[in-house]
Structure 1
Amino acid sequence: MHTIWKGTVSFGLVNIPVKLHAATENKDISLRQLHKECHTPIRYDRTCPNCEKEVEKEEIVRGFEYTKNKFVVIEDEELKEIQQAQAERSVEILDFVKLEEIDPIYFDRSYYLSPNEGGSKAYTLLRKALEESGKIGVAKIMIRAKEHLAVLRVYQNTLLMETIHFPDEVRQADLVPNIPEEESISKKELTTAKMLIDQLTTEFDPEKYKDEYRADLIDLIEKKQSGEEVVTAKEPKLDTSNVTDLMDALQESIEKTKKGKKKSTTKKQTSQKKKKNA
């Protein structure tokens, strides 16, 4: 399993060297955009609309738009300085809380934590302490130039770290439009709804839920491949305008040179005839 981060997890005076691994993976089917006429993949270039030209990677800087068309330019060195200051900190567990106290809306991505060299005993200690206390740890971590709030908990004998949103990243529910106030619901309607919930209530088994859309899409792709319903993209045409211009210029130069030689030869012959006659 690929390691995406190395560091330490600390609580109190205990430090645990750990490695971070992605616990989930994106299995979406990626579809390219093609030109319908020739089936060539559409290309998106980095262009500057003002200069009307393609921009090289080294010509690009970052900027924060604080008002319409007004930017504060941030240099890479300035970003690195801030990131380095944060990255040097270990993952310190700030608090211990109960998992049920955190609403699922806060959860973002999941990562497995494995012990790094010399960290097995401390790793086991934290895992067992979390299991027996029924608590999870709240911590901060810097991943890929972004500081995250995170929780550490036990999942199938492994320490799992889940990044969670900061409070200001979660939009207020009272801003959602058209939410109805209390409506007049009859006792019979409520009883029937609760009965239906009871009938559909079961233990959660994640294995019973499948991505049917992805399965159907894969099946469609495989059928088209086996039936040879495939297309071949045409090679992009090379811009030969400069070559054509160059060839025209060379040909024109040759013609001018030929004409120049003819005129020069004619003048020489005329001059020689005049000398002989004299």
Structure 2
Amino acid sequence: MPQLADQVVIVTGAGRGLGRSIAVALAAEGARLVLVARTRSQLEETAALVRDAGSEALALASDVAAPDAASGAVNASLKHFGRLDALVFGAGVSVTRAALEVTPEDWDHVVGINLKAAFFWSQAAARHMVTRRTGRIVFLSSVTGQVGMPWLAPYSASKAGLAGLTRGLAAEWGANGIRVNAIAAGFVKTELTAAELSDERLVRRIVQRAPLGRLGQPQDVAASAVFLASDASSYISGHVLAVDGGWQAA
């Protein structure tokens, strides 16, 4: 039987990149999806892939930073599917800029989506989950929140903040049957990282440091999201799972 048969999962950042890969992997394991991203055309493409995987999808074009976006998605999930079992917060943005050049607007934009929105989406989901005394929340973090990286100060700070948020919410909501975990993704090939990873010297340095000797693939992260969203990880909470080819261990 599929790991997530009949379960309903909200996935933010589902329009492309890792969010799309995670959505399709969840669908392949039987999950019914509420897909959230800003661009309707990209969402419909993801929804088509979910349906091709044999599952159902509800596409919601929404800015995750909007005040009522989270509660709206939870309500839509309950209205359309009658339940909500898990949230995967995959939305994220970055500004690649020297720390001395970062503006208040840069900081607010990155931290506002990557950390602030992550909290309020998890809060909205948990308000329903506590009534059922069960639920799973998975944040998509990054290796850059665990290890210092130049030119990414706001992004690294937001992802490091997600680690603290993961532990804090896991400690508070565990008594209500809610598990909260995060994935610290390493350097993964997606359309979002294509420009950065087009630098052959950078890729060479990454691969040389990683014990597994390769860049990550979207399915590496997606498989971990399935694991954390399913009962296979039923005794895991407050954990930040490194999916980085051993990069942090080197």
> Which structure's CA Rg is the greater one?
1
**Which structure ranks higher in relative contact order (CA pairs < 8 Å, sequence separation ≥ 6)?**
2
Instruction: Name the structure with the higher strand share.
Output: 1
TM-score by length of 1: 0.17
Q: TM-score, normalised by structure 2?
A: 0.19
Higher helix share: 2
